[in-house]
Amino acid sequence: MGTEYSIQISLPSVGDEEWHALRDPLENGWLTQGPKVAEFERVFAEKHQVEYSLATTSCTTALHLALVALGIGPGDEVIIPAFTWVATANVVAYCGATPIFADVNPETYNIDVQDALRRVSSKTKVVIPVHLFGLCADVDLLREGLPGHVFILEDAACAAGAKYGNKFAGSLGDAAAFSFHPRKIITTGEGGMLLTHKGSIAEQANILRNHGASISEEQRHNGPHPYLMPDFNLLGFNYRMTDLQGAVGLVQLEKLERFIQERSQWAKWYREALKHIPWLKCPEEPKNGRHAWQAFVMFVHPDLAPMPRNDIMDILQSKGISTRPGTHAVHMLKYYKEKYDFDAVDYPNAYDCDRNTMAIPLHNCMTDRDYQYIVETLESLS
Ligand SMILES: *Cc1c(COP(=O)(O)O)cnc(C)c1O
């Protein structure tokens, strides 16, 4: 059998509109954070119904910025799910704070709220629920159980356009961070966005994003005194997005609804087409809300599957179908495992998900035939 197929796990859907959008900043010479970024921030915040928005270089830097703006440092504890992308833990470590892992719910792959609440201590300052693969974590249940002073920072990297009830991801906690990496639903190459309802967080994060400068480049550009330099009262960073990215982001944002609708239709189609395979469990649409379908991550039952998951992934690869494990059990990554002396069994569900999940291709550059071929190939393994 030849491999006429080559179906990527993910491909950014970009075209002529993004290409043309780059013309403006390239011609007018404003390449770093400027009018395109400001417009992208405004439209993104409006879409997610949150007051303040700050574009950044990535979701990782948006999360870091939020933690620093909240004053998180050594001695503080931040609760995060054990099954997530490593960045969720790393940003806590960047602050010198301690990540406290909580196990996940294997039905949703999201943080197990009861387990998270059991781990709250007098040092807990923040909980970071992750909306993994585009499904919102149960933020209301978390808020109900948490002491009032503990902040909720949503890791909404995968959740642009996702809904929890009728509220958008990013509007559920005190602050939220999104990603525009090409693996996510909309992309700017690299890029991120910090959203918050709180003016104090936005103001602090805005200063920290630009080296801690007391006046912005824009103010300096438009200001009357050429000799005025900003003062630097804080240790800040350069986490600014470029206007080239802002211009692309604006075009991508216009396509967000279509991207999600398309993905949602195919997710439904996958569930129907694969439901007779007893060793594969498909992800569900939430009863109350909207999945953004950043990824379609299935659970491969180890006792029912005809062979180990990794062998299944190898066979699919040889037939031109890319797959990936859902994400990591972060407590088993060497840096964290050695630093905190973790065992696999400390977070059994996260470990199970790490071993047994498999994402199959679902994105906006696939044809009907691609989807059919993937299902036929999975059926042939049964
Ligand atoms: C992708 C991802 C991140 C990191 O996003 P970047 O923009 O690449 O920094 C963080 N958390 C989760 C859950 C992610 O999936």
**CATH number of the domain that 216 lies in?**
3.40.640.10
Q: Which residues make Cβ contacts (< 8 Å) with residue 277, sequence separation at least 6?
A: 378, 379, 382
Residues 148 and 278 in one domain: no
**Contact in structure between 207 and 194 (CB atoms under 8 Å):** no
Q: Ligand 1 in contact with 158 (CB < 6 A)?
A: yes
* 21 plus 49 within the same structural domain: yes
| Alpha-carbon Rg for the chain in angstroms | 21
CA–centroid distance, 258 to ligand 1, in Å, is 22
Find, among 198, 331, 245, 303, the residue nearest to 56 by Cα.
245
* Average pLDDT of the chain, as a whole number: 96
pLDDT of residue 118 exceeding 50, the answer is yes
Q: Over 90: is that where the pLDDT of 217 sits?
A: no
Q: Beta strands 357-360 and 296-300: pairing type?
A: antiparallel
Instruction: For ligand 1, say whether the CB of 252 is within 6 Å of any of its atoms.
Output: no
Contact indicator for 304, 298 with CB cutoff of 8 Å: no
Domain span at 343: 257-380
For the chain, counts of helices (H) and of strands (E): 14, 15
Q: Quick one: average pLDDT of 256-267? A: 98
CB 348 within 8 A of CB 370: no
Domain boundary among the residues 223, 239, 254 is at 254
- pLDDT of 1 above 50: no
Q: pTM of the prediction?
A: 0.96
Q: What kind and span of H or E run contains 360?
A: strand 357-360
Q: How many CA atoms lie within 13 A of 304 on its CB side?
A: 11
Looking at the structure, tell me whether residues 58 and 201 fall in a common domain: yes
84 touches ligand 1 (CB under 6 Å): yes
Same domain, 219 and 361: no
* Average pLDDT estimate for 239-268: 98
pLDDT at 228: 79
- Number of domains observed in the structure of the chain: 2
Structure tokens given for 348: 């059994």
Tell me how far apart the alpha carbons of residues 371 and 377 are, in angstroms, rounded to a whole number.
10
